[in-house]
Copies of this chain bind each other. A is one copy, B any other.
Amino acid sequence: MPPRIPALQLADGLLQLSCLIHHTLDRIAAEHGLSVIQVRLLRSLRDREFGMFDLAQHLALRKSTLTGWVDRAESRGLVVRMASPADRRASHIHVTAEGRRLSRAIEEAVNAEIEKLVSGVSASDRDRLASVVSQVVAAAARDPQPKT
């Protein structure tokens, strides 16, 4: 067996794995005629409706950036702007049935691809991997990265 440098090897492997998964996400979104961006928009709106301002904050975007996202998604029939009854300046964004369907289909396809990626890993290693990965993700969520 060749000698290893575990620390660097791990960082490099995780970076490669991350690129692989990101590329998978991009490919599957494209197969459904969407961008990763629009998938992210639909995913947020599946759980609840948002005003433009709140949604921009939720996604860490500028309001003007979001206007374009919503314009394009609305023109594809994936979301709708609805006037707020309480505040005539505000509008609320809702996902349509088609948007919801697409979002779920893409989520399932991505999950299936990731399952396929790890299909060669033994069941016990997979369990261990799952627990380590969720530990890392949870720790990162507790200690968020600076926004610069």
Query: Residues of A with Cβ closer than 8 Å to B?
Result: 4, 6-25, 27, 30-31, 110-111, 113-115, 117-118, 120-121, 125-130, 132-137, 139-140, 145-148
Contact = CB atoms under 8 A, between A and B. Distances in A.
A52 B139 CA distance: 43
B134 A11 contact: no
A94 B132 CA distance: 41
Copies of this protein in the complex: 2
B134 A117 contact: no
Taking chain A's interface residues, is the majority helix, strand, or loop, or is none over half, making it mixed?
helix
Contacts of A148: 27, 30-31
A130 B9 contact: yes
Given A13-B130, A20-B137, A121-B132, 10 more contacts: A6-B127, A11-B111, A13-B133, A14-B21, A14-B118, A15-B110, A15-B111, A17-B137, A27-B145, A27-B147
Contacts of A133: 10, 13-14, 17
